[in-house]
Structure 1
């Protein structure tokens, strides 16, 4: 058995369109008009998204205002979010043998609403930005609950891989998310997988 922690957006949920629409509108509403395209949003995930926002001169208060606006706008669009293929079967299978958590920069409430609607079972807990903005701290929190288990973090962006590594996990990049395989390789994940079945195989071999 291992501790397997997943990012949500771009790994489980095919949510880029909703995410971009919500974030762009939130930035514009709060006066950050330099954000105009999907790529502007994706670029924030070269690192922790909140650290990237801070590096652009946004204060903690500014970030919190944008996040509140983002949450309001995303909540209206949750019905549009689909999961990547075969996720229900994947989580049903993986949760039989492993402890499964979702560590996300999104809100836990939004994630849980989508997972419930899509019939996803087997997730121990979703830890979102309302708990802590740093994924490193959230990953380490989950690791503290299962210190005896080997820990994996599965993400789709360079920022995910950097934070998973800094937290002390084995890092797994997925090729179907927001950053391309070539972009992910720049962060040197321990593994790069092209399907959920590949991840199951890795976990089985390394158990």
Structure 2
């Protein structure tokens, strides 16, 4: 058995347009006009999105207001969000052998509602931005709950891989998400997979190795 922590957007669900459109709107409505395109929004995920906003001069109070407004906007689009093909089956297989969490920059209620709609309830907990904005801290605290298990963080952006590594987990990059294989390779994930089926196979193998 292993501890497997998943990013949500770009790993489990195909939500790029929904997230970036609503996040840009939430930023603009709260006075931050620095995001003008999907490309601008994606650049936030080269590191921790909220630390990047802070470097642009957005204070903590405004960031929290952006999160609240984003959650309000996202509620109107939840029915349109789809799992990546094969991801539901992959999650079921991974959950059979491992303890799994979601650690995301999104608001916890979003993945809870979307995954619930798809009948997916295999996650022990969803840790969103309203609980803690640093993925590093969330990964570290989750690892402390399961010190006996080898830990993996599955992400689709440069920032995911950087934070997963700094949090103490082995990192798995997925190429079907927001940043793609080329950008992920720049930060050297421990593993790189191209399909949900390949991800499930990798984690099954690692789970078996941990029991030998």
| TM-score, structure 1 normalization | 0.97
Q: Any runs of at least 4 consecutive aligned residues in structure 1 with deviations exceeding 3 A, and if so which?
A: none
Q: Which residue of 2 aligns with 1:147?
A: 147
1:57 match: secondary structure: coil
Deviations 1:102-147 (A, max 9, x none): 0011111111000000111311111111110000111111111110
Q: Is the 8 A contact 1:10 1:156 kept in 2?
A: yes
- Partner SS for 2:153: strand
Residues 74-89 of structure 1 mapped to structure 2, 5 A cutoff: 74-89=74-89
Structure 1 counterpart of 2:31: 31
Does the aligned pair in 1 maintain the 2:97–2:204 contact within 8 Å? no
Give runs of aligned pairs for residues 1-207 of structure 1, distance below 5 A: 1-206=1-206, 207=209
Shift, 1:163, TM fit: 0.3
Is contact 1:107-1:128 (8 Å) kept?
yes
Q: TM-score scaled to structure 2, two decimals?
A: 0.95
Unaligned runs of 5+ in 1: none
Distance in structure 2 (CA, Å) of the matches to 1:88 and 1:161: 22
- Per the TM alignment, residue 204 of structure 1 is displaced from its structure 2 partner at its CA by 2.9
Partners of 1:116 and 1:205 in 2: how far apart? 28
